[in-house]
């Protein structure tokens, strides 16, 4: 129980920091859109997509999840001095590899942009500007890789706030680049959009600087040492291989979604993009936070060969995930049109655009629960140092996603692509749970214990139905065709969200939800801890 409370507390810390980052990210998008026309931001986002994708491949998407179990085992079995040597060796290897990757990207920028955004060649000067932006942004891979490594170190020693809060500094850097650097650069004869690229680099350096004091306090700031022969480094690199491939599959999914949407009517790419953004909010606030908080605990259990503890911790994470993700799925589905209307419907984004985006959100909302299940299951495999199974499950997701898109696009257009995302995630979750059930039996557990999730699923489903009914009934008071500039719509949406949350809380209380009690206990302890 104490470990479950620790995980809940950690998840709350990460969720709070993530909320600040997501809110500021929305402000960032508004600032960028207000300063630069779409024809310019197209070039910036294209240039940033390339290093950002590689960041996910070589950074927190694979390095962090591979490093945490290895460092945890080293700390448990060999002590902090050995862990410090592992950090020094891993830092040296990361610095060399990421520097070479950054230099290669800077030198190859023209060819990279041509292969990734050759459509800009139709307009004079645009592909050249995209190449310049890519040259500036590519070194961000080095910065982001260091952030990912420090995140793994700090999470292992139980510090979660600084790594989770660091994206706020990136958003501030981009906002500052747009507001403070664009004007002077334009007057100096440079394209103002270069200010955004410089803002990314400034924000990235600030992310690294934020981690340094915490690393120093924990005694985990050794001088980097390039040592490929270190057994821990070799283990991390071996674990990263399949993990990188798994993340690459996800990146291919993103590219394919845009490719498929380009064959749909005009605006489909935008509809899907906004739907993705709204779905990411509840996922980032708690689902990813819980997964990040759970991995170190699972790694400790694995290092101690306490597989029963791993099983209990995993089931706890799944129950908490259901408790949060299920009402989020129902709420976003029921309030799809009100949310889209209030957030986006103004100016060129008319009522028809809002309706089409709402359809995309409606069919993607169920994916919140399914993707959440995937996110909580994958750390179990990483804790067991099994990175192959998640890769194979990702391949199942990719293949089924392509097949479903081809089938559903015809009758449902872009909404079919959203539904394909949810269905493919569901199939991936089934594969992961089936394999994990076999693995846990091999570890001496008679069963994974998924049957104990049935009461939780029933309670959460009943409460979520009440949540959806209350939100839907309240939302009928809105005039959503008038969009987000209508004060009544803003008030009705806020009231609908509150009504849904209140209904969910009341029904959960009446059903004596263990998950609600655990969350409340964690909040009370945190509040009392602050007072003392």
Shortest CA distance to 181 belongs to which of 39, 209, 190, 47? 190
- Residue-wise pLDDT for 61-94, tens only, equals 567 767 777 888 888 788 888 888 988 888 888 8
Query: Which alpha helices (H) appear in 36-108, and where do they start and end?
Result: 38-58, 65-78, 80-107
Residue with tokens 């991995």: 295
Higher pLDDT, 324 or 477: 477
Q: What are the C-alpha distances in Å from 119 to residues 133, 308, 514?
A: 16, 55, 54
Tokens 């100096």 identify what position? 188
DSSP state of 222: P
Check the CA dihedral 293-296-302-305 and report its sign: negative
pLDDT tens-digit profile of 208-253?
898 888 888 888 888 888 888 888 888 888 877 666 665 666 667 7
Predicted confidence at residue 503, as pLDDT, reads: 93
Average the pLDDT over each of 19-23, 118-122, 355-359 and give the range with the smallest value. 118-122
Residue 60 CA to residue 51 CA, distance in Å, equals 13
| Contact call for residues 161 and 17 (beta carbons, < 8 A) | yes
Q: Which residues of 137-151 are buried (b: 16+ CB within 10 A; e: fewer)?
A: bbbbbbbbbbbbbbb
Position 531 pLDDT exceeds 50? no
Say whether pLDDT at 495 is over 90: yes
Residue 474 pLDDT > 90: yes
CA–CA separation, 280 and 274 (whole Å): 10
> Above 70 in pLDDT, residue 11?
no
Which tokens in the block code for residue 377? 């299951």
Which tens digit of pLDDT belongs to each residue from 132-159?
888 998 899 888 888 888 888 887 777 7
Using CA atoms of 66, 72, 75, 80 in order, give the dihedral in degrees to the nearest 10: 70
pLDDT(332) > 70: yes
Q: Bigger pLDDT: 476 or 121?
A: 476
- Percentage of the chain exceeding pLDDT 70: 74
pLDDT tens string 381-414: 776 767 778 878 888 888 999 999 999 988 888 8
pLDDT at position 450 is 59
Instruction: Say if residues 371 and 287 touch (Cβ distance below 8 Å).
Output: yes
Interacting residues of 267 by C-beta distance below 8 A, sequence separation 6+: 353, 356
| pTM exceeds cut of 0.85 | no
Q: What angle is formed at CA 469 by the lines to CA 335 and CA 503, rounded to 5 degrees?
A: 100
Residues 501-515: what's their mean pLDDT? 85
**How distant, in Å, are the alpha carbons of 73, 87, 143, 388 from that of 212?**
23, 13, 13, 33
The two structure tokens encoding residue 386:
């099994």
Beta carbons of 130 and 136 less than 8 angstroms apart:
no
Answer whether 317's CB lies under 8 Å from 372's CB: no
């Amino acid at each position: 129980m104490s470990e479950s409370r620790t995980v809940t507390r950690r998840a709350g810390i990460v969720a709070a920091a993530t909320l600040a980052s997501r809110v500021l990210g929305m402000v960032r998008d508004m600032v960028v859109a207000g300063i630069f026309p779409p024809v310019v931001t197209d070039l910036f986002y294209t240039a940033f997509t390339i290093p950002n994708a590689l960041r996910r491949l070589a950074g927190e998407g694979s390095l962090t999840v591979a490093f945490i179990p290895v460092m945890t085992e080293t700390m448990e079995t060999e002590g902090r001095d050995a862990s410090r040597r592992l950090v020094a060796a891993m830092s040296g290897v990361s610095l060399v590899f990421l520097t070479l990757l950054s230099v290669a990207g800077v030198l190859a920028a023209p060819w990279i942009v041509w292969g990734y955004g050759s459509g800009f060649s139709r307009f004079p000067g645009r592909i050249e500007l995209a190449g310049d932006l890519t040259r500036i942004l590519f070194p961000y891979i080095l910065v982001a890789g260091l952030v990912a490594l420090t995140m793994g170190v700090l999470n292992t020693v139980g510090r979660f706030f600084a790594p989770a809060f660091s994206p706020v500094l990136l958003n501030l850097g981009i906002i500052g680049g747009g507001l403070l650097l664009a004007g002077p650069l334009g007057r100096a004869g440079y394209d103002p959009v270069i200010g955004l690229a410089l803002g990314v680099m400034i924000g990235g350096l600030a992310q690294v600087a934020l981690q340094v004091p915490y690393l120093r306090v924990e005694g985990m700031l050794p001088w980097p040492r390039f040592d490929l022969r270190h057994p821990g480094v070799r283990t991390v690199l071996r674990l990263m291989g399949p993990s990188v491939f798994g993340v690459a599959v996800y990146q291919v999914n993103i590219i394919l979604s845009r490719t498929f949407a380009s064959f749909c009517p005009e605006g489909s790419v935008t509809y899907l993009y906004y739907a993705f953004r709204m779905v990411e909010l509840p996922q980032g606030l708690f689902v990813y936070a819980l997964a990040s908080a759970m991995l170190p605990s699972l790694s400790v259990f694995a290092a101690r060969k306490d597989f029963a503890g791993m099983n209990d911790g995993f089931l706890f994470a799944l129950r908490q995930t259901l408790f949060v993700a299920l009402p989020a799925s129902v709420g976003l589905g029921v309030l799809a049109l009100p949310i889209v209307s209030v957030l986006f419907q103004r100016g060129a984004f008319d009522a028809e655009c809002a309706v089409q985006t709402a359809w995309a959100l409606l069919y993607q909302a169920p994916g919140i629960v399914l993707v959440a299940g995937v996110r909580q299951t994958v750390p179990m495999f990483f804790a067991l140092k099994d990175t192959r199974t998640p890769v194979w499950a990702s391949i199942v997701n990719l293949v089924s996603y392509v097949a479903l898109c081809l089938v559903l696009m015809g009758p449902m257009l872009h909404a079919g692509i959203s539904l394909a995302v949810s269905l493919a995630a569901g199939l991936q979750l089934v594969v992961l749970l089936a394999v994990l059930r076999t693995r846990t039996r091999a570890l001496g557990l008679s069963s994974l214990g998924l049957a104990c999730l049935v009461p939780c699923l029933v309670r959460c489903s009943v409460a979520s139905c009440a949540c959806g009914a209350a939100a839907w009934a309240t939302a009928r008071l809105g005039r959503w065709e008038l969009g987000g500039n209508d004060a009544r719509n803003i008030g009705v949406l806020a009231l609908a969200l509150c009504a849904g949350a209140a209904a969910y809380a009341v029904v959960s209380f009446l059903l004596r939800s263990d998950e609600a009690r655990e969350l409340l206990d964690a909040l009370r302890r945190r509040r009392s801890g602050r007072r003392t």
